[in-house]
Amino acid sequence: MTNVKTNKIQVHGVPPKWDDAEFERRVAGWVNVYHNTTQCMENVRSPLPHDFLELVAEKVANGFTITRNQSVVNEPLNYSCWMIKPETLQQVDIADIRVKVKAEYVDHLQAERARYQDLIRQQLIQTAELKEQKKIDDAKAKLLAEIEKEVTGTFSELTIPA
């Protein structure tokens, strides 16, 4: 018999399935990133102060607000400020985030499912190979036993005079 040590593949558990709580947790994480970065804002800039003020007034009329945690740049030929998008535009962005997160979550679930299927496939192949090897080893052992029996039966006992 061969004494080959193999790492036996064993699949435990099942691949993850869709979980609304997990999806909402992922969405909440990205919405938090959205609200705490400049993603929920728009940078308004213009080289001329009059044009800059008109752009800011137009944005305010459309529901934007000037953020308090970003500085307003007031340099010659470089006037800018960050403005927070109105709630309606933020909801559109958040809807886009939900679509993106859902696609990523579905990709993750499909990848995990494929990984589990591959592991099970490998486990079944390994099990079949081990069974086949055991049959071969058993047949070889049986053949060797028969040959040994025939060899010992071919010759009589060796007698040595005393």
CA distance 16 to 107: 12
Structure tokens at 123: 């486990």
Q: Which whole-number Å values give the CA distances from 83 to 34, 63, 127, 146, 152, in the listed order?
A: 14, 10, 63, 91, 99
**Predicted TM-score (pTM) above 0.85:** no
* Amino acid at residue number 79: Y
- 8-12, 83-87, 117-121, 138-142: least confident range: 8-12
- 1-10, 11-20, 39-48, 69-78: least confident range: 1-10
Would you say residue 104 has pLDDT above 80?
yes
Tens of pLDDT, residue by residue over 85-101, are 999 999 999 999 999 99
The model's confidence at residue 57, banded by pLDDT at 50, 70 and 90, is very high
3-state secondary structure 23-56: HHHHHHHHHHHHHCCHHHEEEEEECCHHHHHHHH
Give the pLDDT score at 79.
Answer: 97
The model's confidence at residue 44, banded by pLDDT at 50, 70 and 90, is very high
| Sequence spans of domains, the chain | 20-154
Structure tokens at 83: 């403005």
Those residues with Cβ within 8 angstroms of residue 27's Cβ, 6 or more apart along the chain or in another chain? 97, 98, 101
